[in-house]
Structure 1
């Protein structure tokens, strides 16, 4: 599980770098704050767009990993 989590963190970093590379600052700012959940490792990243890329100081509540009474995992914040 630790290896899977480490790999998920690396993939989240790669996703962040790629988005910052291909999106202009104005397009990046148009994105909403969002979570990316890596299901298999139960690892998540929270992305907050800023003029200089994604912010690193956000501290949101974690996303819901367990299904609700209807079997859904999607949580709206």
Structure 2
């Protein structure tokens, strides 16, 4: 019986463990790097989101002045 503790069939060390994993659970072994990479991207985007103030950013970077008699003034909210 071959297991992780008896690496006769796949070889010793981490290389043998990877070979055994590829033989026994190939979908998990191939999907794990994608999951790790995706988690890293999520963490990086979350960091960037919070670093750039998230949803608490300015609506406009330039101010617009309106005359008091302009008809658009009645649509402006405080």
TM-score (norm 1): 0.31
Larger helix percent: 2
TM-score (norm 2): 0.31
- Between 1 and 2, higher relative CO (CA 8 Å, sep ≥ 6) is seen in 1
